[in-house]
Amino acid sequence: MNPSGNRKLIIIGIFLVVGLAFLSRLFYIQIIDKSYKLSAENNFLHHVTQYPSRGMIYDRKGKLLVYNEPIYDLMVTPKLVKVIDTMEFCRLVGISKEEFDKKLRLAKKYSKDIPSPFEKQLSKETYGALMEKLDDFSGFFVQSRTVRRYAETIAAHLLGDIGDVDSSITKTNRYYKDGDYIGKSGIEYTYEPELRGKKGSKLMMVDVRGRQMGSYENGIYDTLAVKGENLTASLDADLQSYGEALMQNKIGGIAAIEPSTGEILAMVSAPSYDPNLLVGRERAKNYEILLTDKTRPLYNRALLSAYPPGSTFKIIMALIAQQEGVLGPETRYPCAGGYPPGGGKPACHHHPSPLDLALAISYSCNSYFSYVFKSVMDQKKFTSTEESFENWRKHVLSFGYGRKLGVDLPSELSGGVPTIEHYDKVFGEGHWRSSTILSLGIGQGEMGASPLKMANAMAIVANHGYYYIPHVIKAIGDKQFQFEKYTTKNYTTVSPEHFFTVIEGMYDAVESGTASASKIKDIEICGKTGTAENPGKSHSVFFGFAPKENPKIAIAVMVEHGGWGADWAAPIAILMIEKYLKGNISRPDIEKRMLDGVVLPAIK
Amino acid sequence: MRDSKGILQNIDWITVMLYVILVAMGWTCIYAAVYNEEHNKLFDFTQNHGKQMIWIGGSILIALFLLIIDGKFYSAFSYLIYGITLALLIVVLLVGRRVKGSQSWFEIGSFKLQPAEFAKFTTTLALAKFLSNQNIKLQETKTKLRAAIILLIPITLILAQNDTGSALVYFSFIFVLYREGLSGNYLLLGFAAIVIFILSLLVDKITLVIIFSSFAFIIFMLARKNKRNIISILAVLALVSGMIFSVDYVFNHVLQEHQRTRINVLLGKETDYKDKGWNVHQSMIAIGSGGFWGKGFLKGSQTQFDFVPKQSTDFIFCTVGEEFGFVGVFVVISLFMVLLGRIIFLAERQRSPYSRIYGYGIASILFFHMMVNIGMTIGLAPVIGIPLPFFTYGGSSLWSFTMMLFVFIKLDAYRLQILR
């Protein structure tokens, strides 16, 4: 072969080697390496979340309580941001240049490619102004969302609120993404899964500038958002509203339950707040204000507090003692102004003596129930104080005191019924007897219960010995609320026949006893006042139910530092009962006194 | 008269067909690259694909015109044409329009012309004319220098326009010179220089020198019988070491910032997906996601949603890779290979050295463009903005390549009339 022929072949050889090298490389990146396919999809396919509308909440009569209002979140994709006139942008959004930089930095930290909220919940005006010029600000877009609105400014604690989901939740629950809303308290928290519905997803194609170019493959990969369920709360909005009005300028709580179902009719915690405060852009600011308020408006006293039940506890004692066989309707004990007789402690007020059980309840005799407590504790069948105490405690717990009831609201507490261990610690093992802990018998000492627990105890009395776990939901969507947990009768340790005398005594208490000043015609109300001793002025307590026959409402009222039970708690409870059962008020004088009354101790 | 039978006499239809296929494919890809809902008409002359249609129409006229012109014309006027081009390259420096940092465009209304594109063609003519001179021997230093001057004048002028990519194309003439008798050592030297350049940037210099010294020692041990070898081995070693240590200087002081970045991106030393690396990164995603069959015409997400910049010009190959897959790139690369092979086959059958040298010239230029352009889109070559022949949108490059090819087709058709 001649030299030039060789050279021709070498040149062709070089051409071919390069051609083959390219084809090998192309074969590798096109067929073997799959990562480019993924990168291409990440480039142009964006999952756009379709947010479902959250379920609305109605009261038991179908009155709308909570609904949704559209708001607009300004979203940013940092990688695509190109803002020509930053000052103009800041002016439209209403932020400073520094805030702009800071927000963009935060968004970049989250992700450069994935959109995240830049400014949440724009006002309608801002939204409108911004939409006109959004084309000038590439990388930004507006996502429409909804916030909660409350038709009436009631039941803030019970309804609860929604807020940004915590990062602790987004880490463990894949449903939630940063920037989502989640129920934070109340019904919103408990029924989050029902209310939230199900997010949908839309696979959108975007171009290099992040502009949406239509749905991918005609939307075959899209899922529709499923609307949240509407809830019907067991709440009676009118009653709740009335309760909140009565409790204004007071501190305390009201709980009202329908005894035949366990449905919570009203749950008032005073002071309260407008639930609309915890919505929208001002949420964080308002939350801070409420959180630092010395009267603790965020604290749900009706559910979470542990007030000494005071004399109302005598009802429970009377029932336990009868069940134990140490007390009968005819049992009489003398009262000489206190126990032990002759100026002992607890002291007692002036009333006829001796009294039978019904009258002892009606007059709320401290001496009588000290005898009763001792008779329960000092039975011969027990070999030790511990044994008899444990027996007593078992009875008390069956009334729902000292343990969680299982209410469908978050953070319920067990409240206070002391334990053997507690007394062993305070007095030393074997160094305490029934007389040491005598004050338990009249609901003092270490006893503590929330208004809800007390209302539930009244439901038990109204039902002659059983209760349904109190709950706030009546229906989910179109379906009646049917959870076994809330439709099962929970029996106490006390047999039904023991309730008659107690109920008579409670009827007398309102008719002619401690609460007779507030009595009303036409409705037979059974109740019991309490004056719960505690540091400072006593708490005013009342619990009761009505009507006496076939009861419709069980209620407990607690007014902190209100003094005698008859002063505040009893009239408020009776007004509530009348409001619920009849709709109008026959004692406007009392109503006015209650509405205008101010019971605000100096807050330390 | 033999030449009276019409201009289509003796034309190599295989080359013409290859040209037509490549141009048609190129236009299809440009259409895909600019296609969107608003611009979906075939004859939309505001869009690149519509304009390219005009350029293609012009190319046909140019091709016919070139075929009509007498075969002797090119040889006779090679130097004149070359001279005119050089004049244009100078004029463009004075009155040209600056586009993306390069002073290389004439602008007359909306019509833009890039003389550097045509300089490749006319330089080939001049070089062929010079080397076909009967008294020329490439082994002589004087000849080498003259040939070098023919190349260096346009290179210098183009570099002055800050169009490094077009200037680099002239290195492809090394194949022509090699074919015409230049020592193969120059080819090796060129290859070695590239290898050493890359190695020096990747590997520690001292280590590199030690490695090369070890090689030299082994070669020396194998061939120690001949004493003269020692000297040449040492000379080569000294040269290599010198190169290794001068690479740093060249890289940091001769090259411009964007050139450094492009080389660093290519070598994987920088991964800047935002700025300089973006093009290549997106280009590789486009091609890599094409798979075997491709995503289908007008269905490439990278192409349709503008993820690859300059997609109808420098990165047109991405459209092939994405929408037509491995099958598409296989066909395109194969067509180029067949075209190059065909040109060399035709060149070798020429009676006149002028035609042969010219043939090798255009084969080399086409090869270099293809190598750098496709290599750049798949991350095997640095980002150098030179067009993919027949594919890339733009009148200057399409017309220039058309002229190159059809002058050769004419020369080939005319070959039988040349007396040896």
Option in A30, A39, A206 nearest B326 (CB): A30
Exposed / middle / buried, residue A174 (Cβ in 10 Å: 0-12, 13-18, 19+): exposed
Mean pLDDT of B335-348: 96
Give pTM, 2 decimals.
0.67
Option in B179, B291, B363 nearest A30 (CB): B291
Is the pLDDT reported for residue A134 higher than 90? Answer: no
Is the pLDDT reported for residue B344 higher than 50? Answer: yes
pLDDT digits over B263-302, tens only? 887 777 776 665 657 788 889 999 999 999 999 898 888 8
Rounded CA-CA distance A107/B304 in Å is: 28
Is the pLDDT reported for residue B420 higher than 70? Answer: no
Q: Are residues B225 and B108 in the same domain?
A: no
Option in B184, B301, B378 nearest A22 (CB): B378
Q: Are residues B71 and B93 in the same domain?
A: yes
Q: Are residues B58 and B99 in the same domain?
A: yes
Quick one: how far is CA A371 from the chain centroid?
Answer: 40
Q: Is the Cβ of B337 closer than 8 Å to some Cβ of chain A?
A: yes
Is the pLDDT reported for residue A604 higher than 60? Answer: no
Tokens for A44? 């142009």
Could you tell me if residue B90 is inside a domain? yes
Q: Please determine, for the modelled complex, whether the ipTM score is greater than 0.90.
A: yes
Residue B322 — very low, low, confident or very high, per pLDDT cuts 50/70/90?
very high
Is the pLDDT reported for residue B5 higher than 60? Answer: no
Q: What pLDDT is attached to residue A595?
A: 93
Residue A459 — very low, low, confident or very high, per pLDDT cuts 50/70/90?
very high
Instruction: Supply φ then ψ for residue A428, to 5 degrees.
Output: 95, 145
pLDDT digits over A272-296, tens only? 999 988 887 788 899 999 999 988 9
pLDDT digits over A554-591, tens only? 999 999 999 998 999 999 999 999 999 999 899 999 99
Q: What pLDDT is attached to residue B414?
A: 86
Reduced to 3 states (helix: H, G, I; strand: E, B; else coil), residue A141 is strand
Rounded CA-CA distance A254/A30 in Å is: 71
Contacting residues for A232 by C-beta, under 8 A, at least 6 apart: A57, A58, A59, A60, A62, A473, A474, A475, A476, A481
Among B266, B289, B366, B388, the strongest candidate for a mutation testing the A interface, having the largest count of A CBs within 10 A, is B289
Is the pLDDT reported for residue A267 higher than 90? Answer: yes
Q: Are residues B226 and B364 in the same domain?
A: no
What is the distance in angstroms between the Cα of B339 and the nearest Cα belonging to chain A? 11
Closest listed residue to residue B252, CA positions, set B299, B200, B210: B200
Could you tell me if residue B290 is inside a domain? no
| pLDDT > 70 fraction of chain B, expressed in percent and rounded | 93
Q: Are residues B104 and B216 in the same domain?
A: no
Rounded CA-CA distance B81/B115 in Å is: 12
Could you tell me if residue B263 is inside a domain? no
Could you tell me if residue B41 is inside a domain? yes
Instruction: Judge whether A115 and A195 are in contact, CB under 8 Å.
Output: no
pLDDT digits over B127-175, tens only? 999 999 888 888 888 999 999 999 999 999 999 988 888 999 999 999 9
Q: Are residues B137 and B204 in the same domain?
A: no
Q: Are residues B196 and B117 in the same domain?
A: no
pLDDT digits over A310-319, tens only? 888 999 999 9
pLDDT digits over A196-248, tens only? 999 888 888 887 766 677 888 788 888 888 999 999 999 999 999 999 999 99
Q: Are residues B171 and B211 in the same domain?
A: no
Q: Are residues B205 and B103 in the same domain?
A: no
Tokens for A351? 């009333």
Residue that is last in its domain, among B206, B230, B254 = B254
Residue that is last in its domain, among B254, B282, B304 = B254
What domain range includes position B193? 188-254
The DSSP secondary-structure symbol of A272 reads -
Q: Are residues B119 and B207 in the same domain?
A: no
Residue that is last in its domain, among B217, B236, B254 = B254
Could you tell me if residue B327 is inside a domain? no
Residue B4 — very low, low, confident or very high, per pLDDT cuts 50/70/90?
very low
Q: Is the Cβ of A167 closer than 8 Å to some Cβ of chain B?
A: no
Tokens for A53? 């509308």
Could you tell me if residue B79 is inside a domain? yes
Is the pLDDT reported for residue A528 higher than 90? Answer: yes
Quick check: B305 and A31 CB within 8 A? Answer: no
Residue carrying structure tokens 């750098």: B372
Option in A4, A19, A33 nearest B337 (CB): A19
Mean pLDDT of B331-359: 95
How many domains, in total, are found in chain B?
2
Mean pLDDT of B313-317: 91
Is the pLDDT reported for residue A112 higher than 80? Answer: no
pLDDT digits over A437-448, tens only? 888 888 888 889
| pLDDT > 90 fraction of chain A, expressed in percent and rounded | 46
Q: Are residues B171 and B240 in the same domain?
A: no
Q: What pLDDT is attached to residue A302?
A: 93
Quick check: B288 and A207 CB within 8 A? Answer: no
Among B319, B337, B364, the strongest candidate for a mutation testing the A interface, having the largest count of A CBs within 10 A, is B337
Rounded CA-CA distance A506/B109 in Å is: 104
Could you tell me if residue B399 is inside a domain? yes
Mean pLDDT of B30-51: 80
Could you tell me if residue B114 is inside a domain? yes
Q: Is the Cβ of A427 closer than 8 Å to some Cβ of chain B?
A: no
Q: Are residues B98 and B214 in the same domain?
A: no
